[in-house]
Amino acid sequence: MTTLTFDSLNPATGEVIGSHPKQGPEAVRDAVGRAEEAAAWWAGLGHAERRRRLLDYKAVIAQHLKELAELVHQETGKTVGDATLEIVLAITHIDWAARNAQKVLGRRRVSTGMIGLNLAATLEYLPLGVVAVIGPWNYPLFTPMGSIAYALAAGNAVVFKPSELTPGVGVRMAELFAESVPEHPVFQTVTGLGETGAALAGDPRVGKVAFTGSTATAKRVMAACAENLTPIVAECGGKDAFIVDADADVARAADACLWGAMSNAGQTCAGVERVYVVDAVYESFMRELSERVAKVRAGEDYGPITMPGQVDIIKRHIDDAAKSGKVVAGGPDAVRAPYVDPVIVEDVPEDSPAVREETFGPTITVRRTRDAQEALELANASAYGLGGTVFSRNVRRAMEMARMMRTGMTAINSVISFAGVPALPFGGVGDSGFGRIHGADGLREFARPKAISRQRFAMPGMNLTSFARGPAEVERLIRLVTFLHGRRKR
């Protein structure tokens, strides 16, 4: 029987990087079955042994860093430098997950309160079993590793379905894991198109699905999960805002804004797409931004648009913005597939596609605001809510604006820096999805809380959970509760 395959292409050249099998429902079922058996063994190893093996995996990834960076470069088109940064961040997350899993998830005693004085109570977080990870193409190693490493550290086996645009990276990740854990297929990769992902999400033996992709695709994955009540953590992109306050260091703000918007050709879920600048520094900020963008080159400083279909969306947004706003850099002629030159447009209406919809290209819209409050209100007027940025020298005001931003994460006087802090959870609200990866929240995302109460001794005269309970015991309970909780606070 001939196995159907598909090719992985270099988006910059069209060169075939590799061929991979289109694994259908039967192959996916087999992989999940193997993962079930592997999950029981992996969970049984305990935290200390999993920690050792994951730290070894981290070392293997580090030893193959250049090889992996070249593969990411070939399959996505991003620069080798950006690919290297992506892998370095993934290494730090594997390290954090391995070292902190026991502290976050391990059994601990909790207080029982006065009513439960005769009880002992413990809380721990146990593995789910098999976790399915459906990954994106824009950060094919770093983003899925934010789920894979944390799911593995929590004691689960993982079946990973990489994007059909970057299958080679996903295959290599699992191959390298087998060097550290050769006994059982604790981490497997299945390759294919949409059918493969649907089969994985719809398998009733999967304990949780971790998905990264568009909001529309997330809804379809959720529908498949709903058939079996399979929980899902979904990271669905964003339309992140960048606020420049009146006292900001405009040179640093412009530098960070440009990199946050243009690096990886703007193909970053938490990248900068909307910029709001307070009137007092607007002109100076735009001078800095204009000077810097003139030196940025598509094909040199960043790569091509990885997914061919995205070019049409980017062009539609640029064309619409250019009609209603003032073009500062680029414009409709910036699109020369597979590359898009940097695009900056001022004064684009807030209801335009370039402001409301995710562009996922090297483009930004810039708007002048009366003050920081107006900038914050405009930043929050979006269906998305993934990340954001505030530049201000006033730490207190910057912190307050960051807290008020309707996003899962906000960076102050830096851009996307939260992604590089393993202890911080990563995820959004609204159309940006729900659930969290990274940090303690990310570890708990891939585990189930297990609560245990144990009676240490019988409470004299207070046998409340028995049909032998009498009026005297109820009266004693009332007196105790009144003493503990009956005083009003003024």
Other beta carbons within 10 Å of 468 = 6
Q: Could you tell me which residues come within 8 angstroms of residue 64 by beta carbon, excluding any fewer than 6 positions away? A: 172, 176
Q: Look up 124 and say whether it is catalytic.
A: no
Contact 422, 97 (CB under 8 A): yes
Which residues have CB under 8 Å from 452's CB, separation 6+? 121, 122, 123
- Per DSSP, the three-state class of 250 is helix
> How many other CB atoms are there within 10 angstroms of residue 284's CB atom?
16
213 exposed, middle or buried (CB, 10 Å; 0-12, 13-18, 19+)? buried
Catalytic residue among 75, 86, 164, 235: 235
Q: Residue 394, exposed/middle/buried by CB under 10 A (0-12, 13-18, 19+)?
A: middle
Calpha distance 432→334 (Å, rounded): 28
3-state secondary structure of 389: strand
Based on its alpha-carbon atoms, the radius of gyration of the chain, rounded to whole angstroms, reads 26
Residues 6+ away with beta carbon under 8 Å from 487: none
**How far is it, in rounded angstroms, from Cα 88 to Cα 94?**
10
For the chain, the straight-line distance linking the first and the last C-alpha, in angstroms and rounded, comes to: 79
Tokens of 471: 């009026």
- Structure tokens given for 453: 């109460």
In the three-class reduction of DSSP (H, G, I as helix; E, B as strand; rest coil), residue 147 is classed as helix
Backbone angles phi, psi at 474, to 5 degrees: -65, -40
| 269 assigned to active site | yes
Among 236, 269, 273, 346, the active-site one is 269
State both tokens at 149.
Answer: 């490493």
Return the biggest CA–CA distance within the chain.
86
User: For 106-213, where are the alpha helices, taking DSSP H only?
Assistant: 142-153, 167-180, 194-201
Strands 272-278 and 240-244: parallel
CB atoms closer than 10 angstroms to residue 179: 14
Q: How far is CA 66 from CA 61, 72, 81, 85, 136, in A?
A: 10, 10, 10, 11, 21
User: Measured between alpha carbons, how far is 169 from 190 in angstroms, rounded to an integer?
Assistant: 12
The residues that are catalytic are 235, 269
